[in-house]
Chain A
């Protein structure tokens, strides 16, 4: 479903930050993406969520070469990808409700259905009483839960999460991971970038190890 062949990425005219990435993510698979800070995890995720296009090599997604896909096709792909960003990327001027509702509204979902789904999901992440609160008035953990709710509300084919449990206590982290695993069981392809060595042990999945922009075999620990 997602295939990297000899992919490289550089920002502008800077040095290459990802080198010769060869990787296949089958539909419905689950992987952890691990590596030290600066190894290129966020860059690899940015290729996966189509925030950037590779500067060399071939990246195919949903059967299409990303480099040659039209903007309209890319928008269609992005709607099939849910992303939990490390810094949440919430819209500060919108309430938690409106942030979570965004993916559904963009595809023209019925407002009543949007309301029901959003409230259900906010309740699930323990933020039902904070639906009207805007991100600047939330803690890091609360923002992270809103970001997770926004990423999963559209039942994406691919779910990418950059340190999704970084600001959460163990109970809430486990709860979100169980949600991710449940989505994975239902066919969502999962890639979780993390420093947390506990997660792969508690919720086992193959590990992709990035180091200095290269994909290495085996776990770092």
Chain B
């Protein structure tokens, strides 16, 4: 039969001043990181809606279906693929074209009845590789007159802004994580100092460093969860309120909704666990390192 017995905590960490400090600092850090990460995910969701995520620049080439034999299209793709800076070339499938225009036609139209062009999607690493005049000139020999639609400058600017926001978000999360780790290291060192006599006694009766470290890491884990969960819940409630308010405020149906998917909410909800694990590891490493310097 498995029996659970409550073991006394040999290092009395529960009575330390850090018992209130750690939940407060971790709670604040989790609150901030949940908001920052939530905002980043929401922005990425909006960017996804506008199809401006990723690092690729895009152009769409229209070739008249009359002049677009299979051979012409294949040759054009080969020519485009060999241009400097081009990373991807593909023919947009008919199903994809029909699905796109379905919203306007009110049903799936017959491709034979509509004068739809053949569309080729081109992706490049820089906008310089997608100059419409050059592409038109190159394809004139193989496909005759073509029309090149390069994504507009404002979209490029938005993409750049989204990239900057993502970078700033990542930096903020790193700073938050660093502040949390530094706080835990400071608190753990203080606790080691406070309980030096107890630790020496434990060593004397045969405790290994890892045995002592477990007490510190468990305490950090517990305190980080104590602070992290309320901070996370509060931030998620604020996020829910804001996404609901923002989603309702835009009347234009073409604008994508500011919202998070279920998986993203769950990801945000897991942040206290991540913070607690980071706190636990930070405490353990601090204790093992500090005790390693003792005789």
Contacts and interface: CB of A to CB of B under 8 A. Distances in A.
| A and B: bona fide binding partners | yes
Interface of A: 49-53, 71-72, 75, 78-79, 83, 89-91, 93-95, 98, 102-103, 105-107, 111, 150, 154
B295 A102 contact: no
A78 B294 CA distance: 15
B198 interface: yes
Interface of B: 5, 7-8, 10, 12, 15, 197-198, 200-209, 211, 292, 295
Interface centre among A49, A51, A90 (most CB of B within 10 A): A51
A150 B295 contact: no
A51 B201 CA distance: 10
Given A98-B8, A105-B7, A111-B5, A51 B208 contact: no
Contacts of B12: 93
The 3 closest A-B pairs by CB, nearest first: A79-B206, A93-B12, A89-B201
Given A51-B295, A106-B211, A94 B8 contact: yes
Contact of B205 (A52, A72, A102, A111): A102
A49 B208 contact: no
Given A93-B12, A94-B10, A102-B10, A83 B295 contact: no
A105 B295 CA distance: 23
Contacts of A103: 205-206
A111 B6 CA distance: 11
Nearest to A151: B205
A188 B12 CA distance: 33
A106 B205 contact: yes
Contacts of A50: 295
A200 to B, nearest CB: 26
